[in-house]
Structure 1
């Protein structure tokens, strides 16, 4: 009996993981990361014109940042134009994914790798191996595991993420030109394909990056996460200008 009590005490400490998550993740934590930095040449105020195009190909069409991005850029002194040919900068964004994810799975878009772990069986196995009375210890272990499972079910460490691809074009000042070469590989079945290349001269420099915005909190729901994700994404995009 004494060892069973000790087992219960030890398992209770292990079961405190749910409580630790509830305490450490009680506040909303929002982070925004960029896969690569983009440096744009500073220009005179008269050249601060920009054409903005924001698309959303995720399954959350209501996650709209277009107007917020435009307002943020306007507040920085940029003049929005509807004709890309008259813009010094062309900003294009496509929201690829919005929704619940794992922290590592979300960061895989920038770094790679993810995994998960559960603890139900561990409690039962530990009870069976530590106690000299297999039946009593196993019952205690299963009871503890059941309680731990209920606690884990009530306390969730939840992540939501938004992944956005960004392309910025910057007009070359003066009469300079840049050579642009493109290669497209079109697959045919599983063993064939066609390669298409073209080259052209352009007066626009082109940059690409990817932005990951994530929100984390215990038992987080999307309606609470969405405004914070949107704000972080808008701040990151407009911060490049």
Structure 2
């Protein structure tokens, strides 16, 4: 009887540890910070530029041009001969953590900083062992250990997307972009996209400063900017497997803008 009771208790702890943590099939979400509506046109020429500053080589969006070609677009090497310029920079692809969740990466929008100290206060405000009875502490530790062993792993990727389409009429457009913070001396990701050619706007000795830059552009072109974010969640998911799935979904989502 005593063994049966112990077995039931352990089973209960296992179920408690697993509840809400086990995802056996890979779940992928994709979100964009802003909708993009391109003007319908018979000119299907596009020039594609992709960059990857995430530090993860497995999320190169090299298949983006092929996706667009499969949709009937003519991908050209000379940007001067293209009706649309597609510029993409993958800025983050790694395990989700406070400051780099799907929602936080999406919230800032195009060009926003990656990562923050969010969640630190919550992490430091947990319960103390002094307030937990000994039996509860042992059971809680066992349950927490089982939960850790079976919990889902979540990876997130973020890509900043800029599309410039040529227009027949002159367009005057105000474009606001979030900038920084970036380390001193490191080129701002916006420069990689050709939007703003600048170094970090973070003042020396002042960490964590975020700014927004507003430009008024006038010419025969219209600019669209958005951030596309994807997350992959599964129990015991590793970075390489997640990166392949996220790369494909980002490629699908970005090509879907056309």
Normalised TM-score (structure 1):
0.74
Shift of 1:12: 6.8
| Matches for 1:60-75 after TM superposition, within 5 Å | 60-66=56-62, 68-75=63-70
The separation in 2 between residues aligned to 1:180 and 1:87, in whole angstroms, is 20
Gaps of 5+ in 1: 129-137
Aligned residue among 103, 108, 132 for 1:107: 103
SS at match of 1:59: coil
- Answering whether residue 227 of structure 2 is matched by residue 210 of structure 1, we say yes
Aligned residue among 169, 172, 180 for 1:179: 172
Aligned residue among 148, 154, 159 for 2:149: 154
Deviations 1:25-67 (A, max 9, x none): 11100011001110011111xx10000000011111332112x
30-39 or 179-188, which deviates more: 179-188
Report if the CA contact (8 A) 1:178-1:205 is conserved.
Answer: yes
- Answering whether residue 251 of structure 2 is matched by residue 239 of structure 1, we say no
* 2:88 alignment counterpart: 93
The separation in 2 between residues aligned to 1:200 and 1:143, in whole angstroms, is 64
- Cα distance, 1:121–1:32 mapped onto 2, change above 3 Å: same
* 1:37 alignment counterpart: 35
Report if the CA contact (8 A) 1:21-1:155 is conserved.
Answer: no
SS at match of 1:65: coil
Aligned residue among 162, 169, 187 for 1:167: 162
Shift of 1:156: 2.3
SS at match of 1:236: helix
* 2:15 alignment counterpart: 16
Shift of 1:170: 0.5
Report if the CA contact (8 A) 1:182-1:199 is conserved.
Answer: yes
Total equivalences in the alignment: 214
The separation in 2 between residues aligned to 1:148 and 1:53, in whole angstroms, is 49
* 1:50 alignment counterpart: 46
Report if the CA contact (8 A) 1:123-1:144 is conserved.
Answer: no
Shift of 1:77: 0.5
SS at match of 1:38: coil
Normalised TM-score (structure 2):
0.70
Report if the CA contact (8 A) 2:59-2:244 is conserved.
Answer: no
Higher helix share: 1
Gaps of 5+ in 2: 109-117, 177-195, 207-212
* 2:77 alignment counterpart: 82
